[in-house]
């Protein structure tokens, strides 16, 4: 019996070590940012526009920083978007929204498709927040897209940024 336990333990350790050496195909490696890449600073919140578009951007920002208000409908855990996207999605090198917005549509090996920004946001709700994605055309998704778009205002499209 003792030999059997040792054999099982050895097999588990070997299989774990073998698995750890295999690359994770779901995560595409990001290319290095060139040293001469342009920088970008998103607009200040004081620059939020007035009118219907500004109201939608503000609602998107509100959902982004307090995503728990969607708990039960679209969020299944205790996370808010700002848990991954620091400083309301504004900070460089911490999954900033403005950088993501300028790089979509893009191929994602995770689902073997070219995804739009809308699909990427829906994926965050499904996988990162363990919830259901807001439907296309919903007020919530339109607001989040508006906030992404507004933060990316003036950023070069399809270019790696410093």
Note the pLDDT tens digit of each residue in 3-32: 655 555 555 555 544 444 544 444 455 566
**Mean pLDDT computed over 64-85:** 96
Output b/e per residue, 9-29; b: 16+ Cβ within 10 A: eeeeeeeeeeeeeeeeeeeee
Tell me, yes or no, whether 32 lies in a domain. no
Contact predicate 114/106, CB 8 Å: yes
Residue 73 lies in domain: 48-154
Report the pLDDT value the prediction gives residue 24, as an integer from 0 to 100.
46
- Is 80 exceeded by the pLDDT of residue 37? no
Tell me, yes or no, whether 71 lies in a domain. yes
Report the pLDDT value the prediction gives residue 80, as an integer from 0 to 100.
96
Rounded Cα distance between 86 and 88, Å, is: 6
Summarize pLDDT for 88-108 with one digit per residue, the tens: 999 988 889 888 899 999 999
Tell me, yes or no, whether 52 lies in a domain. yes
Q: How many domains does the chain have?
A: 1
Tell me, yes or no, whether 107 lies in a domain. yes
Report the pLDDT value the prediction gives residue 13, as an integer from 0 to 100.
52
Tell me, yes or no, whether 43 lies in a domain. no
Contact predicate 97/151, CB 8 Å: yes
Contact predicate 160/34, CB 8 Å: yes
Give which of 31, 112, 7, 129 is closest to 71, Cα–Cα: 129
Contact predicate 89/98, CB 8 Å: yes
Tell me, yes or no, whether 57 lies in a domain. yes
Tell me, yes or no, whether 115 lies in a domain. yes
CATH number, domain with residue 128? 1.10.760.10
Rounded Cα distance between 109 and 77, Å, is: 25
Report the pLDDT value the prediction gives residue 114, as an integer from 0 to 100.
96
| More confident site: 27 or 144 | 144
Tell me, yes or no, whether 136 lies in a domain. yes
């Amino acid at each position: 019996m003792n030999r059997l336990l040792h054999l099982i333990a050895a097999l588990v350790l070997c299989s774990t070590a073998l698995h750890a050496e295999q690359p994770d195909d779901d995560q595409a490696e990001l290319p290095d940012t060139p040293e001469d890449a342009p920088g970008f600073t998103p607009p200040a919140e004081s620059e939020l526009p007035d009118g219907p578009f500004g109201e939608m951007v503000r609602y998107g920002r509100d959902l982004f920083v307090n995503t728990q208000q969607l708990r039960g409908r679209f969020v299944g855990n205790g996370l808010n978007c700002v848990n991954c996207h620091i400083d309301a999605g504004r900070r460089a090198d911490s999954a900033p929204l403005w950088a993501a917005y300028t790089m979509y549509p893009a191929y994602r090996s995770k689902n073997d498709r070219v995804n739009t920004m809308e699909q990427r946001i829906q994926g965050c709700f499904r996988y990162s927040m363990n919830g259901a994605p807001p439907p296309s055309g919903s007020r919530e998704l339109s607001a989040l897209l508006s906030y992404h778009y507004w933060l990316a205002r003036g950023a070069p499209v399809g270019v790696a940024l410093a």
